[in-house]
Amino acid sequence: MTLAEKILAAHCGRNQVSPGELINVRADMVLANDVTAPLAIKEFRRLGVSRVFDPQRVVLVPDHFVPNKDIPSAENAKILREFSREQGLVFFEVGEMGIEHVLLPEKGLVVPGDVVVGADSHTCTYGGLGAFATGMGSTDVACAMATGDIWMRVPPTIRFLYHGQRQKWVGGKDLILHTIGQIGVDGAIYSALEFDGEAITALPMDARFTMANMAVEAGAKAGLFPVDEKTLAFVKDRARRPYQAYETDPDAQYQEVRQFDVSTIEPQVAFPHSPANVKPISQVGRIDIDQAVIGSCTNGRIDDLRIAAQVIKGKRVAPWVRCIVLPGSPEVCLQAIQEGLMETFIRSGVAVSTPTCGPCLGGYMGILADGERCVATTNRNFVGRMGSPGSEVYLSNPAVAAASAILGRIAGPEEVM
């Protein structure tokens, strides 16, 4: 069995599962945010139960439009707060709140071998820990909140093997953008992805989260990494529960196996309006920008901020360009302050925000006007994603976003270093 199949089998009390089978899966963690939880709570009430299945295994994170962007957002955050108090749930108030997919691994609320269902499509991020994590809608999550389990069809697994050594400035974002560029936004529809190979072993945890995060951008149900020493070191002082790491069997059956030589991969940029519309940085041409956003559940971790600060240090953001850095969590924020990254950013003319999903989905904190262009370390560049339907978003890694902010056009870090 593949890693995905092993985790699913263990969570439905069976020795074996095969792709296509329908199973009822026990969930180790169920989550929702301020966009999806109000609807989930409404559906939960319809179920006629008074309590969630386990208050330690349901977590609500207000992060999309919080700190409250307007009155309706305030009302939604209030619904989460009141429900969490009533049920005794794990809840993160503004000040402790981070972007859910940065926060939960950091807090040890998700661990290797888990099944996680979340009312947010980027729930697949926890695959970076070797968990089977998948996004669903509010109604599915409402039912999981009540019962602690959920129906799933066992997905086939596609294996991606990455060989060779990464070029300088190439990170997890570039590997996943390159991969999506190759297979398309529906290239992995309904499948689980398994990332492996020596280039993956060499990849730091933050970069693994970045790659797992964008599995959904290829249509995948989940994207999983093998559990290794780096994973164990990450969870060592964080895990709030005992966990079991699973391993892919040597004779596992895959729907498809693809190989990548990472030594040939340059930093990638996804052009509007699809994460699959990628070009290597050397072929981008002249694209002037109005804004650069560095953050999100994709690239809002400490390694991302370190890379951005390294590129930006001692330089100035270009005139007429807004550069916004959004640390993914209070821990990331504090670490960035202790390392002096925040001072670097502010002295360079960067605006620094408290954690929020804000601009990534066109919520607030960096909305684009008609005709404006933004380079962003986020995950989607659909029409209108960051504001006006006449605006454009280009996806990149943090080094490219930082270099672009300095030059006022999309550029690789080598141009400014």
Q: In angstroms, what is the minimal distance from the CB of 264 to other proteins?
A: 27
CB atoms within 10 A of CB 184: 15
371 binds other proteins (CB under 8 A): no
Looking at the DSSP bridge assignments, the partners of residue 258 are 160
Q: Binding other proteins by CB under 8 A: which of 38, 105, 128, 172? A: 38
Contact 321, 401 (CB under 8 A): no
CB atoms within 10 A of CB 306: 17
- Binding piece for other proteins, criterion CB under 8 A, among 80-88, 90-98, 336-344, 380-388: 380-388
Query: What's the CA gap between 214 and 234, in Å, rounded?
Result: 20
- Binding piece for other proteins, criterion CB under 8 A, among 87-95, 135-143, 169-177, 309-317: 135-143
DSSP-assigned letter for residue 368: B
73 binds other proteins (CB under 8 A): yes
Looking at the DSSP bridge assignments, the partners of residue 352 are 325
Q: Binding other proteins by CB under 8 A: which of 14, 18, 22, 50? A: 22
Q: Which of residues 109-128 bind other proteins (CB under 8 A)?
A: 118-121, 123
Q: Binding other proteins by CB under 8 A: which of 13, 14, 49, 259? A: 49
Q: Which of residues 284-323 bind other proteins (CB under 8 A)?
A: none
Q: Binding other proteins by CB under 8 A: which of 81, 139, 330, 408? A: 139
140 binds other proteins (CB under 8 A): yes
Nearest CA to 112 among 6, 197, 32, 25?
6
- Binding piece for other proteins, criterion CB under 8 A, among 85-93, 185-193, 206-214, 324-332: 185-193
Count CA within 13 A, CB hemisphere, residue 367. Answer: 11
147 binds other proteins (CB under 8 A): yes
Cβ-based nearer residue to other proteins, 157 or 348 = 157
Q: In angstroms, what is the minimal distance from the CB of 188 to other proteins?
A: 10
Cα 136 to its chain centre, rounded Å, is 15
Q: In angstroms, what is the minimal distance from the CB of 332 to other proteins?
A: 23
136 binds other proteins (CB under 8 A): yes
182 binds other proteins (CB under 8 A): no
Tokens 């977590």 -> residue: 59
Amino acid at 306: R
346 binds other proteins (CB under 8 A): no
∠ CA 267-334-330 to the nearest 5 degrees?
Answer: 85
370 binds other proteins (CB under 8 A): no
62 binds other proteins (CB under 8 A): no
Query: How is residue 147 written in tokens?
Result: 């019962």
Contact 299, 398 (CB under 8 A): yes
Contact 37, 83 (CB under 8 A): yes
Query: What's the CA gap between 260 and 5, in Å, rounded?
Result: 24
Cβ-based nearer residue to other proteins, 270 or 302 = 270
- Binding piece for other proteins, criterion CB under 8 A, among 40-48, 107-115, 158-166, 241-249: 40-48
383 binds other proteins (CB under 8 A): yes
189 binds other proteins (CB under 8 A): yes
Q: Binding other proteins by CB under 8 A: which of 13, 51, 56, 70? A: 70
Query: What's the CA gap between 84 and 70, in Å, rounded?
Result: 21
3 state SS of 141: helix
Q: Which of residues 210-229 bind other proteins (CB under 8 A)?
A: 219, 221
Pairing of strands 149-153, 22-26: antiparallel
Contact 113, 130 (CB under 8 A): yes
Q: Binding other proteins by CB under 8 A: which of 198, 257, 384, 414? A: 384
Query: What's the CA gap between 181 and 303, in Å, rounded?
Result: 24
3 state SS of 298: helix
| Site for other proteins, rule CB under 8 A | 22, 35-36, 38-39, 42-43, 46-49, 64-65, 70, 72-73, 76, 118-121, 123, 135-140, 142-143, 146-147, 151, 153, 185-186, 189-190, 219, 221, 274, 361-363, 380, 382-385, 387, 389
